[in-house]
Amino acid sequence: MIGGRDLFLGLCGLILAGSLSASPACAEDGNVFSNLFKFGGTTVPPSQAQSLDPPYCPPVEVAENGAAYRILAGSDVRTQYSVGRLARECARRQDGSVTVKVGVEANVLLGPKGAPGRFDVPVTIQIRHEGKVVASRVERSTVVVAPGEAQGFTTIVAEELTVPPAAAEDYDITVGVGSSKGTGEKAAAKPRRRKPAVAAEPASGGDAAQ
């Protein structure tokens, strides 16, 4: 003998197959079966993240005065740091922001007064929107110039920089060798000159003592 529940499920199965018209009870229970068919369970799974449009990802540019950083010895170049090949990768987030990864090849070249050794190379990476810096990072890498060699190379892959949603469709990526406060050529240090002492003015007033 077919039980009431089995008969009910059987009728609902026929309804789902289109053989009978649905009653409210069967329509409600049929939603459960629809979920089983579609999702493999009795409940609807959380909605999956929709695929995001490719982000705006401008090419990396060399910052003004950021192509080379020179250390001088008198009027001669001791060492020059410079920027080589550049690369970037951008990804859009659900909140509308964009993350940017930047790769930089840096070079150390010995000048006439230079000597082999280990050199700490700072590279500044900035994200700018309408001329203003919205994200910035200084990455450092060590370059070894071996004895008998005139130059050495290093590759820097910076951690992600985040572009806020308001700037995600219009921003620039710039790279410069050196710190953000001092890219470009660095002159040799000059000794400070002490200001000459200022002679005290004679006191004004009455006559000198007799």
- Domain chopping of the chain, boundaries: 7-39, 60-177
Look at residue 198 and tell me whether its pLDDT is greater than 70: no
CATH architecture of 60-177: Sandwich (2.60)
Per-residue pLDDT tens for 152-188? 999 999 989 999 999 999 999 999 998 655 444 443 3
163 CB contacts (<8 Å, ≥6 apart)?
A: 97, 98, 99, 100, 127, 129, 134, 135, 171
Q: From residue 124, how far is each of 27, 63, 94, 139 by CA, in Å?
A: 63, 9, 28, 6
Band of residue 38 on the pLDDT scale cut at 50, 70, 90: low
pLDDT for position 16: 44
Strands 60-62 and 76-92, bridge-based pairing: unpaired
Strands 172-177 and 60-62, bridge-based pairing: parallel
DSSP state of 31: H
pTM for the predicted model, two decimal places: 0.62
pLDDT for position 43: 59
